[in-house]
Structure 1
Amino acid sequence: MTRTEYPWLLPSAIAADREFHDPQLAGERRVRTTAKGRPRRTVRDWVVDLVAFLFAALIAMVVIDASERINGSGAGAVRFDEVVGFLSCFAIWARRRWPVQLATALCVVSVASPAVAGALLVSLFSLAVHRPFKPVALVGALGIALGAVQPFVRPDPETPTATSIVAGTLVVLLALGWGLLVRSQRQLYVALRERARRAETEAELRAEQAQRLAREAIAREMHDVLAHRLTLLSVHAGALEFRPDAPPAEVARAAGVIRDSAHEALQDLREIIGVLRAPGEGEYGDRPQPTLATLDALVDESREAGMDVVLDNRVQEPARMPAAIGRTVYRIAQEGLTNARKHAPGAEVTVAVRGGPGDGVVVSVDNPAPAGDVDAVPGSGQGLIGLRERATLAGGSLEHGATGDGGFHVRAWLPWAA
């Protein structure tokens, strides 16, 4: 829901609604005042008040003309109606500031002079629009009661008393009912506008959350993919730096690993950038994702890089493993091998995967303490944090830490429905 779908919800269409939404607000326009403290009226206010004044004046002239026919020209009652009708027409300009007081006063004056009928209807309508139901009901009851008295104080010989009472009651109820209807419509417009605003805000928040989750997913993917390649580069480049006297065959093999790892890292980086440029193609685009079946290739690649890796794969019915679970297993094993290559070079690393449908999958990566001193390799620990997030998102759990013999272990459990 947006404002473009509901043009009548634009501020220009409901600029005065808050004036009637809450009694304490009593008009946003009236809160704004001039330097002298008088209310600042808009063009719309002037037009509405002028129309109300002309309506009251028209009713007053009709009533005064009828009074002249009944009482004769120049009679005191006629002069009284002229003065009171004239004053009541100008009094309605104050209906925005004092709606209850003005309506009450006109109800009382209407008993003695029917010339205020037009101004009374305008004030009752304005009261119903500006104020809640309780004061409207009280003033309306007063108007109906005094309207029943008025035919006895100023009788009309051409109209029966009962007819005058019923007509006066219906007119008062009509003015109040119309005002309450306008008030409820404006309150409905305000509620719809607020609902539209909240819908826009919620849509923006959902979009921001989706964007944040997508960025986090891409960041995890970038770390998982590039960290493995770049670690190979770091380890073998360090070996060449500290072993300049290495045999030519070993130097050539290390250089080949560096070249292949750099090529693979560059290719992975291109693919990830492609995902960023084409976000509509899914979380990771069209790039093939690793699964349990590609775990052997990961282990072979680590062995070719000089690692001593033992793979213990005892997964039952591996073909039935969901792709998301297989990808998570692969990433856990990949991060474990990367960390072992950094912090325990030369140590034997055991990658064990076991489980089946209904029991879940347990994947663990263990390595003993490295032999001798190990050069410090920079790391932020974000990889293990990302693995825990992956396992949690998949509905599983992950734990890691040092072992008693100075080694390190990573163990994760992932659910696998039967």
Structure 2
Amino acid sequence: MRATLTRYARAPFWSYEPLRPVVRRVLIVIVALLLILDSLLRATSGTQTSLSRAIITTSITVAVALFVWRPPIATSVLIVAMILAAASGVARDSLLACAVAFGLVALTCSARLCAVYGIVWLAWLGVEVWRPESGLDLLPSVVISVVALISLVIGAAIRQQNDRSKMLARQLEESEREVAEQLRHERDLIADELHDIVAHEITIVALHAAVLERTEDAQTRTQSQTAIREAAVQALTDIRRVLGMVRGEENLSPERIPSPDSIDGTIAAVRRELARAGVTVTADVPEEIRLPGASLVALTRVIRESATNVLKHATGAENVRITLTVERGWAHLEFADDSPPARTAGLPSSGYGIVRLQERFRLFGGSFSAGRRAEGWVVTASLPLSS
């Protein structure tokens, strides 16, 4: 409530809150009826109405109608009409109408303009009470003041309720955006996990299944069967973990996504998998290296994705070199193979892994690139450790 009052008090002088469509229609009908009744009374009363009084009363009635379109202009017209009425001493009966209009001013206009309106109205009331020929005694003036106060309170209360409703609507909209963003983030994480399963374990299964079709060597077939069995078991384990994520049994924050314990563990797993495909892996990694959880996940994903791509697309590769350096608060990783161009295993490629890695490193404020060089296919990734 305090924030609402502060915002209302600091609003620009000519700012306003438009009336709702239903209130606009009702106000137009009321003004039309008042104009008709006023015309009938003047025609049937038999008394002569002065021009100044007719101008002031008509201006007040028209000003009420202007609240439908521009409340500040309507309030300004009312202020001018009250000043003229106080100066000329006519249209004293319009004091009550302007008191009732207090609610419209408080409902639609800024606090500063409402204060000006109140000051002018009180000055007009004081002038009428002070003027002997006005016939306005203390009791009627108190009654009119109470009406003005009630109108002001009602208008301010409705204004506060409208502001509260708008604030709640904005908060609800923001909450919906946050929920949608969180859902999108969780879908991306689940998609990443599924991609790792399909692209890595299933790739190993497909490659060794092809080996079983082409070879009769008992030792080779045994190795391929072992690799297929291990990859299938790992795929089932990972699928169960992803299903746990979908059911909400696991936290989906990046730091909680299961990953190898260390860079060394990841390289060791990659070395075993590539060795079965006849690829030698050499690694140059610092002996003691400590990485934040998010950085570790990002770098291990690069190594695993690159190893998967070697199996899928670099069937002519014989050597893979993994280099990791840490300097000046940055981690630099390079994964290179010596594969010849245009030699693949014939497995389909979506490019999803590379795209997701580029997005991940961009969010970290780092860089990621993958492309062919003279010596073979090279993947480079850098990210700040403070991320």
C-alpha distance after superposition, 1:295-330 (max 9, x if no partner): 243233313432413222332522x33333222222
Partner of 2:221: 251
| Structure 1 segment 179-194 matched on structure 2, within 5 A | 179-194=151-166
Partner of 1:294: 265
Partner of 1:271: 241
C-alpha distance after superposition, 1:161-202 (max 9, x if no partner): xxx4x6666655554344334322321221121111111111
1:124 aligns with 2:83: no
Q: Measure the CA separation in 1 of the matches of 2:283 and 2:234.
A: 26
Q: CA distance change for structure 1 residues 358 and 30 in 2, over 3 Å: closer, same or farther?
A: closer
Per-residue deviation at 1:337? 0.9
Q: Determine what percentage of the aligned residue pairs are the same residue.
A: 23
Per-residue deviation at 1:338? 0.8
Q: Measure the CA separation in 1 of the matches of 2:345 and 2:274.
A: 21
Q: Measure the CA separation in 2 of the matches of 1:358 and 1:147.
A: 82
C-alpha distance after superposition, 1:124-173 (max 9, x if no partner): 33211123536666565545434443x3265x9xxxxxxx4x66666555
1:305 aligns with 2:305: no
Q: Measure the CA separation in 1 of the matches of 2:278 and 2:358.
A: 25
**Alignment partner of 2:335 out of 365, 376, 384:** 365
Partner of 1:152: 133
The amino acid that maps onto 2:196 is D
The amino acid that maps onto 2:127 is A
Query: Aligned pairs, how many?
Result: 329
Q: CA distance change for structure 1 residues 29 and 387 in 2, over 3 Å: closer, same or farther?
A: closer
Q: CA distance change for structure 1 residues 125 and 279 in 2, over 3 Å: closer, same or farther?
A: farther
Q: CA distance change for structure 1 residues 296 and 95 in 2, over 3 Å: closer, same or farther?
A: closer
Q: CA distance change for structure 1 residues 280 and 198 in 2, over 3 Å: closer, same or farther?
A: farther
Q: CA distance change for structure 1 residues 120 and 301 in 2, over 3 Å: closer, same or farther?
A: same
**Alignment partner of 2:186 out of 178, 190, 214:** 214
Q: Determine if contact 1:230/1:262 at 8 Å carries over to the other structure.
A: yes
3-state SS of 2:285 partner: strand
The amino acid that maps onto 2:379 is V
Partner of 1:413: 382
With the length of structure 1 as denominator, give the TM-score of the two structures.
0.64
CA RMSD of aligned residues (A): 4.3
| Structure 1 segment 74-113 matched on structure 2, within 5 A | none
Q: Determine if contact 1:315/1:353 at 8 Å carries over to the other structure.
A: no
| Structure 1 segment 11-410 matched on structure 2, within 5 A | 25=18, 28-32=21-25, 121=96, 123-131=97-105, 132=109, 133=114, 141-149=123-131, 151-152=132-133, 154=135, 164=137, 172-241=144-213, 243=214, 246-278=216-248, 281-283=251-253, 288-290=258-260, 291-318=262-289, 320-356=290-326, 358-370=328-340, 373-405=343-375, 407-410=376-379
Q: CA distance change for structure 1 residues 222 and 308 in 2, over 3 Å: closer, same or farther?
A: same
3-state SS of 2:310 partner: helix
Q: Determine if contact 2:316/2:343 at 8 Å carries over to the other structure.
A: no
